[in-house]
Structure 1
C-alpha cells in the first residue's frame, strides 16, 4: 500500500499531548491508523534553519521528519505572513491584517525550501497530503521540481468570499498556486463555494458539474471534507482513571453548582470576550443562576509573542475580573479563567462534568472542541452543546443549540434553554449528535480525501 506523507507546519507529538483539538489531533488520529511520514517544522529556531539537519523520530507506524527555521524565516513566514496576513484575512478580520511585501517573499522562500527538503524524502508511490494556510504554495514548488505524486491540500480554517480575499495583495497568485494540487479540501460547503466563486469571478475559471474546478490549464477537485475526531476513542478517554480524577476534582470544587465549560486557544477568532459578556447577560437576565452556575474558560496561550494575542489575554482578564467583582459571593465565583492546557484525557473528564459546552467562535473552520465535548458525555445524563453558527461544526451538528455569538441576549437565552432542558430532550439531541460524529470520524475524513486524491490524480494523468 502506498505510503501517506503528511505535511503541516507543526509535527506531533505522536503520543497523547497537552494540546486540545485542532489540526494535530486530527492528523495523529489519521496517521496512527494509516501509518506514514509526517513532515514539517520542528518548532525550533536555529542559525542553520531549513538548511540544517533533518530531525527524525519513529513509532511503530509513523515516522516524523522536521527541520528548523532561522529567526528571519520565523519572523517573516510564521509570525509575519502566516499569522499577521493570512490568518486575519481568512477569519474575516481585515482590521487586524498586516500587508507587508517582505513577509510574503519570506513565506514563499520558506515554502520553496520545505519543498526541496521534502522531495528528498519522497518515494515514487507516496501520496502527499499538505495541510493548512502555512503551505498554500508548497504544491506549486513541488510540481516545479517535477514531483508527479498525487498531492492533496486541506485548509483547516475558513476560506472567505472573493470580496474579502481580494483585499490580500497577490491573492490571485496565492489561489493560482492551489491549482498545483489534485484535490483541495475544505471544512464546509460554504468554503467550497467561496473558492469556486473566486476561481470563476477573479481567475476566469469554470466549475464542472462533478465539482471540479478548471483554471490555468488544470482541472482539480474542490470539495468539503469536514474533519472529524476519533469519536469512540475520545468517548473512552472519558472513562479513564485520569478523566475520572479530574471529573471528581471538578465536582468537589463545584460543591453542587452547575458548570459551563469553554475550551479554546487564546485567539481573537474564538470570541472569548463576547462569550464572557453573554454569560454576564445570563446572570443579569436570570438572577436565579447567581451563586449556582459558573463558567470555566480554559484558554491555553497561543502565539503569545504577537501583539494581538497579548491584547486578547489582557482583555479577557479585564472582562472576567469585572464580572467576578460584580457578581461573586461567598463560596461562588462566576468565572474561572485558566491560561493553561490539559491532556485530552483530563479534558474528557472536565467535559463530562460540565452541564453545558459553550463553543462560540466568531469564525472557525471546524472546531473540534464541540465534537470532543459531545463524545465525552455520559449517555445517560448528557450535557448540552451551545454552538456558534459561524463554526464549521454547526453544519454537521444542528441538534446543538445554534447561536449568533455577536448577540449577547441570544446566547444568554440559549444558555438558559440548555440549563432548563429536560433529560429526555438532552438524550435525544446527544444521541443524534453522537451518531453523526461516529459516522464522520477522523478515519472517515482521512480515507475520503485520500480516495478522492488517488482517483483525481489518475484522471489527471490520463487526460
Structure 2
C-alpha cells in the first residue's frame, strides 16, 4: 500500500513560536502521523516572476511537506479573486457578494493545472490522494488529464448549496463535472449531500444509483463517483486535556481575576461574514435590553481574528463590528464593567481552550457553516461537574448531531437573547444532561475516526474500479 498524499491550498508548515494550529490543520496532521505520507500545497509565498513549479521540501516529525510558490498575479486571481470573491460567497449562499471575473476563473484553472503538474512527479503508483476544499475542485480532473490512475478522493469542508443557488455561477456545469474525476466526494452533513445531489440532478441530469454513486462515461471510459457525508471531528480527548491544563494557566487566571463573580459568554471565530458576528453582537445587546437582571452580571468575550483584509467586504465587516461593540459598551457599560470584550486578532489555541472551560455559555452562530469545530471544541473543553451551555446556529453543520445545544436562528436577535437567558439560568442537572449527550458523540466521531472512515470508503470505491483498469491495461 502506498502513502497518503494530502493536498490543500495552504500547507500548515511547522514553525516554532507560532500558536498551536487548530481545526483542519490539526486533523490532517494527525492523519498523516498515523498513516505516513506527504502534505502538498501552496507555500503561502508569492513571487513577482512566473513560478517555475520548484518544490520546497521539508520533513518534520515523520511527515513530508512539499510546497510551491505562486506568482502575485495568480495569487490575486486564484485565491483572493475566484476562491474568495466567487466560490466562498457562492457556497455560503451569499449571491449578493459574488463578484465574477472571467480572468479570475482562468487563473483558478491555471493554478489547479500547475498544482497537478508539480504534484504528479511526486506520486507513486499505489499512493492514495486526498484533496481538500473549494480552492482545488478541478485538481482531480487535471491529474486525470495527465494520466494519474491513483485513488483520488475529495472533501469539501464548506456547505454545498442546491442547484438553485449554484447555477448562478458562470460555468457551474463545468465545475460539477470536475467532481466526477474523483472516486469519492465527501461533504460534512446530509444537508450538504442533498445539495450536491440536487446539483448533479438538476444541473447535469445525473442521478445517484441506489448506493449513492454517480455513473458516467468519459472519453469512452466508465466511471463511478461515490457521494457521501462524513462529519469531521476533533481530537476530543486531546482538547479536553488542553483545557484542563489551560484553566490554571496565566491567561485564564488573569481572565478569572478580571471577571469577578460575573458569568462569561465566549465566541471565537475568524473574522468572516459567514460567521454571523454582527448578528450575535445584536443578540447579546438584546439580552441586556430585554433581560436587565443580567446587567453587570455577565461579560461577553468575542475573538474575531482578522482575515482576508484585501477583500472589501471583510474590511466593511470589521468596521461594522467595531461600531457594534462600541455601541453596546456605550449603552450598557459601567465605570467598572465592560459588557463586551472584543479582540480582533488571533489568540493562541491553548489560551482559548482555557477560556472555553471557564465560560458559562459558548456562542456559535454562523449564518452558514460546513461544520464549525469551535462548537465541538467548546463542548470538549467543559468541566463535567459544571459544564457550560452551547448556543448554536441551526445553520451550522454541527447542529445536525449536537442535540444538546440550544439552537437559534442568528437572524432573530430577540430569540437569541431568549436562548442566552435560558443558557445563563439553566439548572446544573440539565446542563450536565445536555453536555453528556454531546460529549459522547464527540468521543465517538473524532478527527481520527473521520479520516479513517473517509479513507476506508475511498479505498473501497477505488478498488471496485481496479478490474476495469486491469482489463484496459
TM-score scaled by length of structure 2: 0.95
Please give the secondary structure, in 2, of the residue aligned with 1:106.
helix
Please give the secondary structure, in 2, of the residue aligned with 1:298.
strand
**Aligned residue among 246, 252, 268 for 1:247:** 252
After superposition, what is the alpha-carbon deviation per residue over 1:121-143, rounded to whole angstroms, capped at 9, x for unaligned?
A: 11111100000000000000000
**Aligned residue among 306, 309, 321 for 2:311:** 306
Shift of 1:3: 1.0
* Matching residue of 1:106: 107
**Aligned residue among 286, 297, 302 for 2:291:** 286
Shift of 1:376: 0.7
CA contact (8 A) 1:20 1:342 kept: no
Q: Hey, what's the Cα distance between the residues in 2 that align with 1:413 and 1:244?
A: 33
Instruction: Please state if 1:318 is matched with 2:323.
Output: yes
Shift of 1:44: 0.8
Q: Hey, what's the Cα distance between the residues in 1 that align with 2:391 and 2:457?
A: 33
CA contact (8 A) 1:7 1:131 kept: yes
Which sections of structure 2, spanning at least 5 residues, go unmatched? 469-473
* Matching residue of 1:10: 10
Shift of 1:415: 0.6
Q: Hey, what's the Cα distance between the residues in 1 that align with 2:23 and 2:81?
A: 21
Q: Hey, what's the Cα distance between the residues in 2 that align with 1:152 and 1:391?
A: 24
Q: Hey, what's the Cα distance between the residues in 1 that align with 2:177 and 2:370?
A: 21
Q: Hey, what's the Cα distance between the residues in 2 that align with 1:416 and 1:79?
A: 40
Q: Hey, what's the Cα distance between the residues in 2 that align with 1:58 and 1:312?
A: 39
* Matching residue of 2:200: 199
* Matching residue of 1:37: 38
Summarize the alignment of residues 79-90 of structure 1 with structure 2, pairs less than 5 Å apart: 79-90=80-91
Shift of 1:50: 4.0
* Matching residue of 1:169: 170
After superposition, what is the alpha-carbon deviation per residue over 1:372-425, rounded to whole angstroms, capped at 9, x for unaligned?
A: 111111111111100000000000101111111111111111111100111111
Q: Hey, what's the Cα distance between the residues in 2 that align with 1:140 and 1:52?
A: 19
Q: Hey, what's the Cα distance between the residues in 2 that align with 1:241 and 1:458?
A: 45
Instruction: Please state if 1:449 is matched with 2:450.
Output: no
Shift of 1:102: 0.6
* Change in CA separation of 1:194 and 1:241 when aligned onto 2, cut-off 3 Å: closer
Shift of 1:32: 2.8
Summarize the alignment of residues 48-447 of structure 1 with structure 2, pairs less than 5 Å apart: 48=49, 50-216=51-217, 217-240=222-245, 244-447=249-452
- Corresponding pairs, count: 463
* Matching residue of 2:471: none
Q: Name the stretch that deviates more: 9-18 or 209-218.
A: 9-18
Q: Hey, what's the Cα distance between the residues in 1 that align with 2:313 and 2:448?
A: 35
Q: Name the stretch that deviates more: 104-113 or 60-69.
A: 60-69
Q: Name the stretch that deviates more: 35-44 or 11-20.
A: 11-20
CA contact (8 A) 2:246 2:252 kept: no
RMSD: 1.5
CA contact (8 A) 1:204 1:215 kept: no
After superposition, what is the alpha-carbon deviation per residue over 1:343-388, rounded to whole angstroms, capped at 9, x for unaligned?
A: 2211110111111000000000100000011111111111110000
Shift of 1:52: 4.6
Q: Name the stretch that deviates more: 6-15 or 291-300.
A: 6-15
Q: Hey, what's the Cα distance between the residues in 2 that align with 1:302 and 1:398?
A: 31
Which sections of structure 1, spanning at least 5 residues, go unmatched? none
CA contact (8 A) 2:232 2:447 kept: yes
CA contact (8 A) 1:29 1:229 kept: no
* Change in CA separation of 1:27 and 1:417 when aligned onto 2, cut-off 3 Å: same
CA contact (8 A) 1:243 1:345 kept: no
TM-score scaled by length of structure 1: 0.97
Shift of 1:21: 3.8
Q: Hey, what's the Cα distance between the residues in 2 that align with 1:243 and 1:112?
A: 49
Please give the secondary structure, in 1, of the residue aligned with 2:69.
strand
Shift of 1:120: 1.2
CA contact (8 A) 1:49 1:68 kept: no
Shift of 1:229: 0.5
Please give the secondary structure, in 1, of the residue aligned with 2:452.
helix
Q: Hey, what's the Cα distance between the residues in 1 that align with 2:30 and 2:357?
A: 21
CA contact (8 A) 1:243 1:350 kept: no
* Change in CA separation of 1:237 and 1:349 when aligned onto 2, cut-off 3 Å: same
